[in-house]
Structure 1
Amino acid sequence: MCAHNPPCPTAEAPDREAARSLAHRPGQGWRSLLCNGVLFADIGKLLPDGRIVAPLRSLNTARAAA
């Protein structure tokens, strides 16, 4: 999917977030579409195969809510 040289990490790679951003649309409920097909949204990351990777939550945020 990526045409960059050197190619960006694939959607399955641990460093998938290092891929280049192709689009940015925060007003539509998603933040960025990367060239490896990963979509950053409010719910976390949506991978090209439909899997969702939940956003990382800070422990400080969890403690403040308790």
Structure 2
Amino acid sequence: MCQHQPPCPSADSADRESARLAAHHPEQGWSLLCNGVVLFEDTGELLPDGQAIAPHRPVGAGLMTAA
């Protein structure tokens, strides 16, 4: 699928999210990566084989504490 040199990581590799953007739709909350992975704003993913990866934001990210 990827024509870049060096090629982007495949959809089944651990670093799949580092593939280049093929399409970016921030207004809709998703991006398509060169390896066929759909990356969602909430950090969830949809792999080309249809497998869904649950959002995996770090615990406590974006939380504000009261002073």
TM category, shorter? 0.7 to 0.9
Quote the Cα distance in structure 2 between the aligned partners of 1:13 and 1:19: 10
Who is 1:19 aligned against?
Answer: 19
Who is 1:10 aligned against?
Answer: 10
Report the TM-score when normalising by structure 2. 0.77
Report 1:1-66 matches (<5 A): 1-30=1-30, 32-42=31-41, 44-60=44-60
Percent identity of the aligned residues? Answer: 56
Quote the Cα distance in structure 2 between the aligned partners of 1:21 and 1:29: 14
Quote the Cα distance in structure 1 between the aligned partners of 2:5 and 2:58: 34
Report the TM-score when normalising by structure 1. 0.78
**Total equivalences in the alignment:** 62
Instruction: In structure 2, list runs of 5 or more residues that go unmatched.
Output: none
Quote the Cα distance in structure 2 between the aligned partners of 1:20 and 1:59: 26
